[in-house]
Amino acid sequence: MIDLHTHSIFSDGELVPFELIRRAEAAGYRGLAITDHMDASNLDLIIPRIVKALEMVRPYISIDVVPGAEITHSPPELISDLVKEARRLGARIVIVHGETIAEPVSKGTNRAAIEAGADILSHPGLICTEDVLFAKEKNVSLEITSRKGHSLTNGHVAREALKFGAPLCLNTDSHGPADLITKDFATQILLGAGVDENRIGAVFENSKHLIEKAMRRN
């Protein structure tokens, strides 16, 4: 399992980074991104601390872990600058909190996230065809999620992405240890979203590609 959307105590998660990593490692994970909720108020506080923690723990763990950020509930007009700033501060995976139907996310967020070149558009809700095509063009991955509430539109996201060839990934949006899942369970979520069995491998391969790319970033 490679999970590129998780939260620690630096936002609304339950675990310090070291424990989150250890629990993911014990659960059989191969890769992890710590992507706490961020906006202009806390990018400079959280990202350097996650970077420092991972530098210290990396020699003692058996999985790939990268620092990241989830730009959350930002006005669409600010998303591009926040994505750039997150990368400058050391985030190797940048996610934007998409237009989930479970929260009042500003209209236009999906489009702005893709335009900004985020790595992943998380739980993009009832994403329109135009934005799916734009995500394909910009190689921005659309997220299938195991997170309650956000997962309500997994079927729509999967159907549109597969129809038009946009990249997909599966993440947990974990906030606590109970949210971590196995690859077998992730497979069931993808099947439940309508992803054909013969296309599931490509979803997992995309997550592998994303973390390998992130590990190479300076």
14-50 pLDDT, tens digit per residue, is 999 999 999 999 999 999 999 999 999 999 999 999 9
With H, G, I as helix, E, B as strand and everything else as coil, classify residue 80: helix
Alpha-carbon distance values, 4 to 123, 128, 129 (Å): 13, 23, 24
pLDDT at 4 over 80: yes
Residue among 3, 155, 160 nearest 70 (CA): 3
What are the structural domain ranges in the chain?
2-216
Length of the chain: 218
- Paired tokens of 3: 């999970």
Q: What class is the 2-216 domain?
A: alpha beta
Q: Quick one: pLDDT at residue 60?
A: 98
Per the listing, tokens 């400058």 go with: 88
Per the listing, tokens 């959280």 go with: 46
Question: Beta strands of the chain (E only): which ranges?
Answer: 2-6, 31-34, 37-38, 64-71, 93-97, 120-122, 141-145, 168-171
Instruction: Find the mean pLDDT for residues 200-206.
Output: 98
pTM reported for the whole predicted model: 0.98
- Paired tokens of 128: 């329109």
